[in-house]
Structure 1
């Protein structure tokens, strides 16, 4: 149900069918695992922010144009990963969605 995303450094849900097509027990199991992973996202973001700060410090002292361009590219990629991690962090499917629709 989960696939490790090397770029993000976390496992992300990889569902083979629509969320509501899973039985509620399976949705609860998926949600439990996702909450465990999701709880680690802020720590992962902090790790990446440290790398950005290091690269920014290196950039401030870099005189080689090509190396400066590479550092800028690296910083941009890390910022992109952080943005994607925040998007994943905000994803919280409703386990009971199907039941609520029928009430």
Structure 2
């Protein structure tokens, strides 16, 4: 019911059925697992922020234009990942909801 997302570095919901088609026990199990995964997201974000800071340090000292562009692109991608992780962090399903666990 969860699948590793290489880009984000975490497990994400991969539901095979509609949320309302799962039993209450299955929903509770998925929600428990999601809460465990959610708890790891701030650590993952902190990891990525350290990488961004390191790359920004490199960028400040880089004189080669092409290398600067590459570093800028990498920093932008890492920032995009952080943004997506925050969106997932805010995803809190309700067992009684008809809303899917995934977006």
The aligned residue for residue 63 of structure 1 is 63
Q: Once the 2 structures are TM-superposed, how far is the Cα of residue 21 of structure 1 from its aligned partner?
A: 1.2
CA offset at residue 97 of structure 1? Answer: 2.6
2:16 and 2:84 mapped to 1: Cα distance? 21
Question: Size of the alignment, in residue pairs?
Answer: 98
Q: Distance in 1 between matches of 2:76 and 2:11?
A: 22
Does the alignment pair 1:51 with 2:47? Answer: no
Instruction: Report which structure shows greater RCO (CA 8 Å, sep ≥6).
Output: 2
CA distance in structure 2 between the aligned counterparts of 1:52 and 1:58, rounded to whole angstroms: 10
SS in structure 1 at match of 2:4: strand
Aligned to 2:90: 90
CA-CA distance at 1:17 after TM superposition: 1.4
Q: State which structure, 1 or 2, has the greater radius of gyration over its C-alpha atoms.
A: 1
Are 2:33 and 1:33 aligned?
yes
Cα distance, 1:16 vs structure 2: 1.0
Q: Deviation per CA, 1:37-80, whole angstroms, max 9, x where unpaired?
A: 00000000000000000000000000000000000000000000
Superposition TM-score, scaled by structure 2 size: 0.92
Higher helix share: 1
- 2: distance between equivalents of 1:37 and 1:63? 40
Q: Secondary structure at the match of 2:92?
A: coil
